[in-house]
Amino acid sequence: MAIGIGLIGMGVVGGGVARILCDREHEFKHVLGLDLDIRKIAVRDLSKPRAIDLLPDRFTTNPMDVVADPTIQIVVEVMGGVDAAYDLVLTALQNGKDVVTANKALLAERGDSLFEAAVQNNVGLGFEASVCGGIPIIQTLSQGLVANDIQSLYGILNGTTNYILTRMTEAGANFDPMLKEAQDKGFAEADPTMDIDGTDAAQKLALLCRLAFRQRVSSGDILKEGISHITALDIDFARELGYTIKLLGIARVVDNRIEARVHPAFVPHDALLADIRNEFNAVEIVGSAVDAQVFYGKGAGELPTASAVVADLVAIAERRKAGLGPAGAPLAPLPDADLVPVDDIQTGSYCRFTVHDKPGVLAQIAALFAGENISIETVIQHGRSETEGGTVPLIMITHDAPEAAMQRAITRIGNLSAVTEKPQIIRILHP
């Protein structure tokens, strides 16, 4: 029995999906017994040359032709965006079609009603490719670790920022030139805002929380901070202190509530995540039965992401062939998560202050920390200013303290006349 496939989008990922389906047609048909037939592809420009050889009548500029086609059983949405993609995916599900998507923004912002539509229509909604590209993290959480209570997950969820931070570390460079290098090499978009400000990682973390904890977490409720303020000086101090800086997504159960955050962090040199370089992603999951497991691989790119899309597609096709419904526990409706308020999240922090080199400054700063019951673990100040009244960097590592108390202390310290620049704060990972 042939299974009709419809693609919405033929960009980098869509082209990779079509390429894999065509290149592996023999294996799918003769090894798995699946005849996967691409029956329609929605594209913006019919005249654009394509890397795959399909009949012209398979292409359309109207994506509704795909979701309304009665000969198509599985729709693959790789067009991106939210509003238009939402209408198409919802219509496909309501028409009784299984859907596979790589669109994390769509699921993070509008996923509730899509998951509910999938349940109501007894169809599958696969989204393996939406988080960590070629790493099968969605299947791992939804099926492979179903026997576990997930206690925590944390990892590098965005390849663009990991590439930039890796190159800053290796080259001793500041942020801007390494962002330009990432763009030149195709690891960063022309507008990289959602990557570098942490939005992309927060959307992915929200989806992982839904699977790991079976509770609804909105990406807008996650503490979020990006990497554009990181400097070569911070990289150097991190190295001296035994750390590497990474942008992390962190979710864990704390006193029966969920703590969820995305931010740059000092990662100890001996931690596995410290060795994850360039565009690669990695996630460590701690479960009640398996303890800690680490998953590592390419987090983006044409073929890694397309591989995840095709894995979902094949899994759904096999279940269709066997006459079975969707696999895994339903993802809707789910209760809203009881989140640890951002102000109550506790972390240790690296604090870098640019201060006038004069007596009493350290005592002033320490007193303001003490006023918020924040204790100091380490202080570093190298040398003296070459000019009288010049400035020097003053580094302090604090013990764990609530976010609200830390922010109050930093605001007051930043207002001191001896502090000449905005204080730099980076949280510390304690695995």
**Judgement on whether residues 17 and 116 belong to the same structural domain of the protein:** yes
Q: For the chain, what percent of residues have pLDDT higher than 90?
A: 89
Calculate the average pLDDT of the chain: 95
pTM score of the predicted model? 0.95
Burial class (CB in 10 A: 0-12, 13-18, 19+), 24: middle
Is residue 58 predicted with pLDDT exceeding 80?
A: yes
Residue 327 has a pLDDT of 79
274 and 162, same structural domain? Answer: yes
Question: Are 200 and 265 members of one domain?
Answer: yes
**Together in a domain, 148 and 293:** yes
Judge whether 334 lies within some domain. Answer: no
Contact partners, residue 241, CB within 8 Å, separation at least 6: 266, 350, 378, 380, 397
What lies within 8 Å, CB to CB, of 270 at 6+ separation is: none
C-alpha distances (whole Å) from 204 to each of 221, 272, 311, 335, 422 are 13, 20, 19, 19, 30
As a whole number of angstroms, the distance between CA 282 and CA 64 comes to 37
Both 230 and 249 in one domain: the answer is yes
**159 lies in the same domain as 73:** no
254 vs 251: CA distance, rounded Å: 9
pLDDT at res. 1: 74
Question: How many residues in total does the chain contain?
Answer: 431
| Domain-located, residue 310 | yes
Tell me the CB-side half-sphere exposure of residue 383, using CA atoms within 13 A: 7
Active site residues: 204
The burial of 189, by beta-carbon neighbours within 10 Å (0-12 exposed, 13-18 middle, 19 or more buried), is given as middle
**pLDDT at 153 (0 to 100):** 98
Residue 379 lies in a domain: yes
Give the mean pLDDT of 381-408: 89
Amino acid making up residue 364: Q
Same domain, 45 and 121: yes
pLDDT digits (tens, 9 = 90+) for 182-206: 999 988 999 999 999 999 999 999 9
DSSP state of 339: B
Number of domains in the chain: 3
pLDDT at 385: 67
Domain of 71: which CATH number? 3.40.50.720
Do 270 and 203 reside in the same domain of the chain? Answer: yes
Whether residue 331 lies inside any domain: the answer is no
Same domain, yes or no: 123 and 246: no
User: 2: Cβ–Cβ under 8 A, 6 or more apart, which residues?
Assistant: 35, 36, 37
Q: What is the extent of the structural domain holding 391? A: 342-428
* pLDDT value, residue 389: 66
Per DSSP, the three-state class of 234 is helix
Report yes or no on 317 lying in a domain.
yes
Q: Considering only residues 50 and 137, tell me which one the structure prediction assigns the higher pLDDT.
A: 137
Same domain assignment for residues 275 and 377: no
In a domain, 326, yes or no: no
Whether residue 216 contacts residue 121, with contact meaning beta carbons closer than 8 Å, is answered with no
Which pLDDT value is given to residue 302? 86
The stretch 313-339 carries a mean pLDDT of 90
- Residues 151, 121, single domain; the answer is no
Instruction: Order across the sheet with 74-77: list the strands.
Output: 59-60, 35-42, 2-8, 74-77, 98-101, 125-126
Q: Is 329 part of any domain?
A: no
Q: Tell me what pLDDT residue 299 has.
A: 84
In the chain, the amino acid numbered 231 is T
pLDDT digits (tens, 9 = 90+) for 104-139: 999 999 999 999 999 999 999 999 999 998 899 999
- Check whether 2 has a pLDDT greater than 70: yes
pLDDT tens digit sequence for 145-186 = 999 999 999 999 999 999 999 999 999 999 999 999 999 998
pLDDT of residue 208: 97
In a domain? residue 333: no
Q: Give Cβ neighbours of residue 58 (< 8 Å, ≥ 6 apart).
A: 38, 39, 40, 41
Q: Residue 9 and residue 77: Cα distance in Å, rounded? A: 7
pLDDT tens-digit series, residues 217-266: 999 999 999 999 999 999 999 999 999 999 999 999 999 999 999 999 99
287 and 165 in one domain? yes
Say how far apart CA 401 and CA 190 lie, in whole Å: 38
- CA triplet 223, 226, 230: central angle to 5 degrees? 130
Mean pLDDT across the stretch 418-429? 98
Q: What is the CATH number of the domain that holds 286?
A: 3.30.360.10
